Amino acid sequence: MSRARAEQQPAATGATLVVMVGLGIAFLLFMAFLNVVKSGNLLNESNLLYAALIFYAGAGALYLGFGVTGTESYVRFASLATWAGLAANTAAVAHRWYEAGHPPFASIYEMLLSFVWTLAVLTLVAEKKFGVRVIGTVTMPVAIVGVVLMQLLRTDVHPLVPALQSTWLHVHVTLAMLAYAACALSFALALMFLIQDKMRNESFLAFTSLFSMGVYLGILTRFENWGDLSVIAWNAQEKSEMFLQRGVRLLVIIPDLGWLMLLVLLVVSAPFVLYLAGRLRKDEALYTVANRAVFVSILMQVMALLVFLLRARGGQYPSLDAEGLYPTSLAASPFILSGLVGAIFASLLYLLLLWRRPDLERLLPSAEVLDRITYKTICIAFPLLTLMIAAGAYWANRTWGSYWSWDPKETWAAITWLVYAGYLHMRVTRGWRGRRAAYFAILGFVVVMFTFFGVTYLLPGLHAYA
């Protein structure tokens, strides 16, 4: 009898989660509906986005539940929630398009709107077409972060500045979105390949730790005054960044945040250092210590995020470049925020891998299949990248008078193209398969992320729009 009960238990908890998520969605929608009825404006964009957020959050919870327990029914409901979220998201995109009179690519807000939409579509495609069902565990949280970020950003419809009034812009940006989404997919698939290829947990540990180190190093480029962190000042009325002069942003310094970030950098690099020591000394025991260090690093990262949220959410801070105190807001630092959240998320994924590896291996397609799909995805991404660069060059030729001006974004797009060209050459002429190809695919996506975020955040250039 007791054995039968033990076997029933997973099914019971499975239903519990579905019911809980369903009730949660229903409750939130009902509350939102009451609010909307009061204001009398049902189908506006923020309501649609809110609905999308609720559904995506539900889907994310269910996908995560699936990732952890492997309960089949979760995926079915998660897909349903994703479909519902996608419907709301599509309506929001359509509404935006109709209101603005141009496809939603003109501001960071509109780009995020389209990005989240693409992500949801790709999730469903990967799930239905390729049978990669855990993908939602990764993509849905990203979509949620995207929708939350959107709430912080300026949402009113900007008229397009003259340089952006071109059909080629839409072609260029659509292609970029598709290409980058395909690259992201190939990255996720390459990671799954590495799991199926029996790569050791310690290697994933090193990757995770390196990623977090990269994030904190990036944040620390804003390290000022031996212990402060500078962020962009934010004008709350205008919902826009403040400028010192044309093209030069006004930075304010938040005292002591720099020290904290430095400290967290040290903590997140601890697992990597321990891993290296373990490798050099061939001491497996150090890996166990490294895994414990991941827990500590997650706690520290959450703390860093909380402190950042508290300090950068509002308040008046001095600036190094101008007299007086200036306000800032979370919306002024979307990259830092997404970096912090992303690093925590990566560490949590590592924990998921550490605890649930056998389940994951059972759920994922075989290594051979993943290897092939990764290659196919890049075969789609590469021509898209090529066309994206060509469309961008044509547009630049009509606007700036030159098809190629070695602007950082252009140069990095070319570097991305070269990296993927390298991948294809190695695969076709050298027969690179398996792990080396997967590393290459991961490298490609790192370069893509740098082109997308790093160049905007760290390097100056003409692509000031996005």
Partner 1 sequence: MAFKLHPHKPKKGADMAVDAIRFDRKIWQTLSSIKTGVVLLITVVVLSAAGTIVLQRPTTEADEMQRAYSPHVLRILDAVGLTDVFHAWWFVTLMLLVSASIIAASIERFPNAWRFYSRPYKYPDKNFRRALPTQKQLAIADEETGLVAAERALHSLGFKSERVVQSDHFSLFAERNRFSEMAVYIVHASLLLIFFGGIVDALWGWRGFVTLNKGQQSSQVELRDGKKKSLPFAVRCEGAGQENYSDGTPKKWWSQLVVVQNGQDSQRKQIVVNDPLVYRGVRFYQASYGPTGKLDKLLLTAKLSQGAGEKKDLSLGLDEIAPLDSDTTVQLAEFIPDYVVSDGRVYTRSNTIENPAARLLVTSRKGGKPINFWLPPIEGFAENAQSPYQFEAVDLKQGYFTGLEVSHEPGQWMVWAGVILMGIGLTFVFYLAHTRLWAVPVREANGKLVLWVGGTANRNRDAFEERFSELSKKIELELQSLRAAPAHDRVASLA
Query: What residues make contact with partner 1 under the rule CB under 8 A?
Result: 158-159, 161-163, 165-166, 372, 376, 379-380, 382-383, 386-387, 390, 393-395, 397-408, 411-412, 414-415, 418-419, 421-422, 425, 429-430, 436, 455, 459-461
Q: Provide the minimum distance between the beta carbon of 381 and partner 1 in the complex, in angstroms, as a whole number.
A: 10
Q: Provide the minimum distance between the beta carbon of 166 and partner 1 in the complex, in angstroms, as a whole number.
A: 5
Q: Provide the minimum distance between the beta carbon of 375 and partner 1 in the complex, in angstroms, as a whole number.
A: 10
Nearest to partner 1 of 303, 369 (CB atom): 369
Tell me the C-alpha distance between 232 and 91, whole Å.
33
Q: Provide the minimum distance between the beta carbon of 43 and partner 1 in the complex, in angstroms, as a whole number.
A: 25
Nearest to partner 1 of 20, 415 (CB atom): 415
Tell me the C-alpha distance between 42 and 265, whole Å.
46
Q: Provide the minimum distance between the beta carbon of 334 and partner 1 in the complex, in angstroms, as a whole number.
A: 21
Q: Provide the minimum distance between the beta carbon of 389 and partner 1 in the complex, in angstroms, as a whole number.
A: 9
Nearest to partner 1 of 69, 166 (CB atom): 166
Q: Provide the minimum distance between the beta carbon of 291 and partner 1 in the complex, in angstroms, as a whole number.
A: 30
Q: Provide the minimum distance between the beta carbon of 241 and partner 1 in the complex, in angstroms, as a whole number.
A: 16
Nearest to partner 1 of 142, 164 (CB atom): 164
Q: Provide the minimum distance between the beta carbon of 253 and partner 1 in the complex, in angstroms, as a whole number.
A: 19
Alpha helices, H only, 364-462 = 367-399, 408-429, 434-449, 455-458
CB 339 within 8 A of CB 215: yes
Nearest to partner 1 of 20, 220 (CB atom): 220
Nearest to partner 1 of 10, 383 (CB atom): 383
Nearest to partner 1 of 277, 443 (CB atom): 443
CB 363 within 8 A of CB 243: no
Q: Provide the minimum distance between the beta carbon of 54 and partner 1 in the complex, in angstroms, as a whole number.
A: 33
Nearest to partner 1 of 199, 303 (CB atom): 199
Nearest to partner 1 of 110, 407 (CB atom): 407
Tell me the C-alpha distance between 269 and 261, whole Å.
12
Nearest to partner 1 of 297, 416 (CB atom): 416
CB 444 within 8 A of CB 378: yes
